[in-house]
Amino acid sequence: MSVTIKTPEEIEKMRVAGRMAAEVLEMIEPHVRVGVTTDELDRLCHDHIVNVQKATPAPLNYRGFPRSICTSLNHQVCHGIPGERQLKDGDILNIDITVIHEGYHGDTSRMFMVGKPSVKARRVVEVAHEALWRGIREVAPGVRLGDIGHAIQTYVEAQRCSVVREYCGHGIGRKFHEDPQVLHFGKPGEGLELRPGMTFTIEPMVNLGKRHTKVLADGWTVVTKDHSLSAQWEHTLVVTEDGYEILTLRCDERPG
Ligand code: MF3
Ligand code: CO
Ligand code: CO
């Protein structure tokens, strides 16, 4: 497969899908509290996407994934499966939402801190957040994917954290995961050159310890090998004539 350039009509559809994914994260925020199970969060998101938005939760049955959202807790890196575990004071949780609307995908995730996080927990959440934004601020026509990866990697490693290598951002559109792969590490000037109309995600996974990961026996949940805490934030973007537009921006991120 090759990298597609979206038409203005396609970009408008991706704006709608992106806004829906962002809105699910806004909706779920007050529910992410001590005592709630990740299954309950999954049900609330599923019902909102299907009944209110009249859209489709992309993860459900995607390559056999059994739920409508991913919930990755503490040392879980990504692709955590919602279940009966109740949130407790000090947990950090990533919720990753992907919706399909009129055939187009919007994909976004954010961290939540439950109750009072430890200093270490807050730190990995904040480093991952800044890593996403350092990557986003690189995006413009003529820039290369290696520039994005390099901006993320140098920042994260300067903070004495590590960048997960096995999973990456991705092109997105009619398909959940399209070309190109958007690595969160790299060398300046290397890789694909960005052009207006390209749509992709940036979604750095940052570990407090070493970068290595393994997949649990459920076939999905990715965890840090050394059991250190991990955090991830994700946005879907389109390259514009003079920079970027974030398609999954939430109200709590808008200036003013
Ligand atoms: N939303 C994830 C991503 O950012 C992919 C989840 S795949 C699933 O690419 F099957 F686990 F849902
Ligand atoms: Co993604
Ligand atoms: Co995602």
Asked if residue 109 has pLDDT above 80, the reply is yes
Angle at 28 between CA 23 and CA 31, to 5 degrees: 160
pLDDT of 30 strictly over 80:
yes
d(CA 229, CA 91): 10
**Any domain includes 253:** no
Here the CATH number for the domain that contains residue 134 is 3.90.230.10
Number of domains in the chain: 1
Q: Are 220 and 213 in contact (CB under 8 A)?
A: no
- Tell me how far the alpha carbon of residue 177 lies from the centroid of ligand 2, in angstroms: 7
For the chain, the C-alpha Rg in angstroms (whole number) is: 17
Residue 185 within a domain: yes
pLDDT in tens, 113-124: 999 999 999 999
Nearest atom in ligand 1 to the alpha carbon of residue 96 is 1
Average pLDDT over the chain, rounded to an integer: 98
Q: Is 175 exposed, middle or buried (0-12, 13-18, 19+ CB in 10 A)?
A: middle
Alpha-carbon gap, residue 128 to 124, rounded angstroms: 6
- 256 falls in which pLDDT band (50, 70, 90)? low
What does the pLDDT look like over 144-196, one tens digit per residue? 999 999 999 999 999 999 999 999 999 999 999 999 999 999 999 999 999 99
- Alpha carbons 205 and 167: distance in angstroms, whole number: 8
In a domain, 251, yes or no: no
Task: Give the containing element (helix H, strand E) for 17.
Answer: helix 8-28
Distance CA 151, CA 137 (A): 9
- Domain range for 200 is 8-246
Residue 138: CA atoms inside 13 Å, Cβ hemisphere, count? 24
pLDDT for 160 equals: 98
What are the pLDDT digits (tens) for 59-101?
A: 999 999 999 999 999 999 999 999 999 999 999 999 999 999 9
The rounded Å distance from CA 202 to ligand 2 centre is 7
The response to whether residue 203 sits with its C-beta less than 6 Å from ligand 1 reads yes
Q: Per the domain annotation, does 34 fall within a domain?
A: yes
Task: Give the position, in ligand 1's atom list, of the atom nearest the Cα of 69.
Answer: 12
pLDDT surpasses 70 at 215:
yes
Confidence band of 17 (pLDDT split at 50, 70, 90)? very high
Say how many CA atoms lie within 13 Å of 231 toward its Cβ.
Answer: 24
Q: Is there a domain that residue 193 lies in?
A: yes
DSSP structural state of residue 218 = T
Identify which ligand lies nearest to the alpha carbon of 201.
2
The pLDDT value recorded for residue 152 is 99
Atom 12 of ligand 1, residue of closest alpha carbon: 59
pLDDT surpasses 80 at 108:
yes
Q: Which helix (H) or strand (E) holds 78?
A: strand 76-78
Q: How confident is the model at residue 223 (pLDDT cuts 50, 70, 90)?
A: very high
Q: How far is Cα 110 from Cα 128, in angstroms, rounded to an integer?
A: 10
Please indicate, yes or no, if residue 201 is contained in any of the structural domains. Answer: yes
Roughly what angle, to the nearest 10 degrees, separates helices 119-138 and 145-158? 160
The reply to whether 54 falls in a domain is: yes
| C-alpha distance from residue 107 to each of 16, 46, 101 (Å) | 12, 15, 12
pTM flag (> 0.95): yes
Task: Verify whether ligand 1 is closer than 6 Å to residue 79 (CB atom).
Answer: yes
Q: Burial-class residue 149 by CB neighbours within 10 Å (0-12, 13-18, 19+).
A: buried
Q: What is the pLDDT of residue 255?
A: 73
Q: What pLDDT, on the 0 to 100 scale, is given for residue 218?
A: 98
pLDDT band at 254 (very low <50, low <70, confident <90, very high): confident
In a domain, 255, yes or no: no
SS3 221: coil
